[in-house]
Structure 1
Amino acid sequence: MDRYLTVAEVSAAARRLVSRYPGAGRLRRVGTSRAGRPLEMLSVGHGPAHVLVVARPHPDEPVGAVTALALAERVARGDGHTPAADPARATWNFVLCLDPDGSALSEGIEAATAGPAPSLERYFRTAFRPVAAEQPEWAPIESSRLPESQTLFDLIDELRPVLQCSLHGIEAGGTFAQLTDDLPGFATPFHTAAADLSVPVQHGTFDALYWENPAPGVHVLPPPESTGRLAAGSEHIGRSTWCAPQRYGGVTAIVEAPMWASALADAPSPHPDAVRALRGLSRLVRDGGEQVTAVLDKARGFLPPPEESAPRRVLEWMAGGLYDLVADSWQPLARQAAEGAERLTTAQVCALDVVARRQPLRAAGLLLRLLTDSPDPSAPALHAELHGLFRGWCEDFTRALALHWVPVHIQAELQTRTVLAAAGCAVRGGR
């Protein structure tokens, strides 16, 4: 499979799998989205230990659904090559799409990224990422109650999984995993999988700069009292669906596979001028945000109102302070680097570079979509103005990090092997 699958294609593939393995696989509706779309779960095996795999928690990260189907097939066939994949020892449960409403707004991402060399431009023109309060895994942190979040909480209470795997896909960089608790023995098979598939491991990541880092690309959530080591906005991470399995002794692994890889992600050498780089990245995200917001200001009068448009809500959320929040979050790092207290690596700066560039691109892609759909006579000129910036940013992103596309089947195989490694550690450890 060398393209992502739509939600409908994933559901149909799950039904075919159940037909091919009668008695081994079950498909059931476990919930309903805000817009009335079904939340489906495919279960394979009958063992006492439960593994819960969550696909497409973010609608702009579609690889997890391909991974979930590949994992289900391996477990059903009995060729997972680990005791955790033995259907007599473990039951595997796959939530096929946690955010079908958001995925409907990313419709077209599958076609846009098909082929041997997709471009960032086509990707960001079709990708949609909701505001934090509308992301099912993250909404509880924002004190937002979503039926998708509640469905996942209910499943965790029902299954009491030894392991929950949340399947994510980062736009650029390398692969990494975030764990809510340590999984001894996990790092070696994770690194082996990445090496076998020629995918760089991300040494340091923007999401977990101050987490425990027992091995390259492996990050473990710090203790609950260590809120100062969390990224801005994640101080209440204990409320998230990620941490819910801890109530039953389980652990969650957030598995990231890059769409576009960069060798800089795997460069642990000290950065030659981290202070200057961080200051430049802060300017990059602020300037890009200001330029998108300037176009948004001119278009607000004829765009659909936020209460009627999820893309518009994202644009207002970002314009309301998100760019500054991101840029400001790096100032302590810059100060520490200037004082010699922190020596940042090339890989860590690469991770922050990805964030700085993608924030304005996410907003520009959404605003271009709204301008394309608008009948207002001033929309074409604003579209042309913004598209010139957007295209240049995509080209700069690709060139600055020397990005190259990771085929979908490699992304999915990397996640599959990473999940099997984590499950092996969790089941073997008797969690």
Structure 2
Amino acid sequence: MRTSLYPGVDELERRARTLVRAAPGLLRLSRVGESRAGRPLWLLSAGRGERHILAVAGAHANEPVGGASALRLAALFARRPQLLETLGCTWHFLLCLDPDGAHLAHGWQPEEPEPSLTECHRYFYRPAFARQPESLPVPPGKPLPESAALVRLLDELRPVAQFTLHGIEFGGAFVMMTREVPGAADAFRETAAHLRVPVDRDPVDGPDWRLDPPGVLVLPDGHDEGERDPSGYVAESTWFHPRRHGTLTTLIEAPAWAVPSVSDARPVTDPDRAAARLGEVLLGRTRELAAVLGTRLDTAVAEDLAPLRVAARELLDVAPSIVASWAAEEPGRFRGHFASRGISARRIPLRVAAMASRALARTDPRTVEILDDLVREWSQELEKTYDLRWVPVAAQTGLHVRTMLTTARLVCGGGG
């Protein structure tokens, strides 16, 4: 049977209400804020323990798996409330931090067993950096209403742990933790191995973080609140904000398509040539896109499509700084390092082409046709080059759920 597996924003609320009706003494749903467009931010809470844990889903519009994971764990608590009692906690799920972005990205509903990477990008949207609610502006900038709602929630709950549930289109699994928790890294790697999800030995994200290979990044001691993002921005983050309360934040990244080579520890014979090739791919494809687009991304489009235009323009502009950041890295010596960056070099122009196509769909059909051809060509090249393998959604959500539970037990001291 072929079924759609990522719930949209409205379905998240409906399914949460169904869970509450089935377990009214354990689960409850509350509105904790609203988006820029006035959409509600829903918090599903389970249990009534003294300690609090918060899981944040839907921080990025192109990552719908987090909401599915939140519902899966909430349903597990409804069936087995003793899990919460053992932890002595109340567990909260922010079902979608960016409902506006999720509505703009909604449309791709993968059907197993054979989802399409090209079809995925027909609906692709990932906001520009300043519109991503987990990012906080450098003062005196004003945070987005979604960001402000999350900060209020963190200050009110003072959770022992905050989990942020992320997903990438293709690559490997990894986690980022704001402090080291003994046993958590090994537990994550064991979970990934059990679910047959490759672990990214050396993720592109978190260049300032300490790598505990494979696949675990830990915030270094003495790190300040501002982190240098690979895109070239400096911003505070809702990951860092609750450290003042002693909160551990763990970001969990689950791929939709797995790339086995990101786990490859074999040495590279010519790392300098491999590094140069990364820049050639990214800059070559962004130059090709710039030639196709000309000034089209600098002209106005319909208001509902403007976020797509802004995000595509930003990615085009930051490509040279990303290549420069890779060149400044300590040279990688193993194949997984270059696989991770090779994927990123291809992912960025693919995202630009996909979002620019959507932004220009009503005004420039000829350019859209060229962009759609590039999306198809680059998707097929990715599938062939990296042997992409679809990760069943049950495994994607399983990675989130099991990592959250094992980490929570280590933090709270609960049993197995």
Q: TM-score range by the shorter chain?
A: over 0.9
Whole-angstrom CA distance in 2 between matches of 1:2 and 1:409: 12
Q: Name the counterpart of 2:376.
A: 391
Structure 2 counterparts to residues 109-188 of structure 1, below 5 A: 109=108, 111=109, 113-140=110-137, 143-188=141-186
Give, in angstroms, the shift of residue 308 of structure 1: 6.8
* Structure 2 match to 1:194: 192
| Structure 2 match to 1:266 | 263
Which stretch shifts more, 293-302 or 123-132? 293-302
Instruction: Evaluate the alpha carbon distance shift between residue 209 and residue 299 of structure 1 in structure 2; reply closer, same or farther with a 3 A threshold.
Output: closer
User: TM-score scaled to structure 1, two decimals?
Assistant: 0.89
Please, which of 49, 53, 56 is the counterpart of residue 55 of structure 2?
53
- Say if 1:172 and 1:144 are closer, same or farther in 2 by CA, change over 3 A: farther
Query: Is residue 47 of structure 2 the alignment partner of residue 62 of structure 1?
Result: no
Equivalent residue number for residue 396 of structure 2: 411
Percent identical pairs in the alignment equals 37
- The residue correspondences of 1:282-301 to structure 2 (distance < 5 A) are 282-297=279-294, 299-300=296-297
Q: Does the residue aligned with 1:372 lie in a helix, a strand or coil?
A: coil
Distance 1:34 1:54 in 2: 18
* Residue aligned with 2:273, SS: helix
Q: CA deviation at 1:206?
A: 0.3
The number of residue pairs the alignment matches comes to 411
1:156/1:293 CA distance change after superposition, 3 Å: same
Task: Return closer, same or farther for 1:177/1:302 CA change in 2, 3 Å cut-off.
Answer: closer
Q: Distance in 1 between matches of 2:270 and 2:224?
A: 29
Structure 1: runs of 5 or more not aligned: 338-342
Residue 76 (structure 1) aligns with: 78
- CA separation of 1:306/1:17 partners in 2, compared to 1, >3 Å: closer, same or farther? closer
For normalisation by structure 2, the TM-score amounts to 0.92
Q: Which moved more, 1:398-407 or 1:266-275?
A: 266-275
Q: Is structure 2 residue 327 aligned with structure 1 residue 331?
A: yes
Q: Residue 326 of structure 1 aligns to which amino acid in structure 2?
A: I
Which amino acid letter does the alignment assign opposite residue 345 of structure 1? Answer: F
Question: Which stretch shifts more, 62-71 or 286-295?
Answer: 286-295
Change beyond 3 A, Cα 1:412–1:232: closer
Match of 1:340 in 2: none
The residue aligned with 1:19 is 21
SS at match of 1:3: coil
SS in 1 for 2:360: helix
Q: Deviations over 1:13-33 (max 9, x none)?
A: 100110110110110000010
Write out aligned runs for 1:321-360 (5 A): 321-333=317-329, 336-337=330-331, 343-360=332-349
In 2, the alpha carbon distance for the partners of 1:24 and 1:87 equals 15
In 2, the alpha carbon distance for the partners of 1:97 and 1:241 equals: 15
Matching of residue 400 in structure 1 with residue 399 in structure 2: no
Q: Deviations over 1:378-412 (max 9, x none)?
A: x2322222222222111111111111111111101
CA distance in 1, matches of 2:342, 2:202: 12
Moved over 6 A (4+): 226-229, 305-308
Inter-partner Cα distance in structure 1 for 2:93 and 2:258: 27
User: What's the C-alpha RMSD, in Å, of the aligned pairs?
Assistant: 2.3
Change (3 A) 1:306 1:284: farther
Residue deviations 1:411-431 (CA, integer Å, cap 9, x gap):
0111110111111111129xx
Show the counterpart of 1:247: 244
Amino acid at match of 2:275: L
SS of corresponding position for 1:40: strand
- The residue aligned with 1:313 is 310
**Could you tell me how far apart the structure 1 residues matched to 2:225 and 2:328 are?**
15
Superposed displacement of residue 287, structure 1 = 1.6
Give the letter aligned to residue 168 of structure 1. Answer: H
Letter matched to residue 56 of structure 2: V
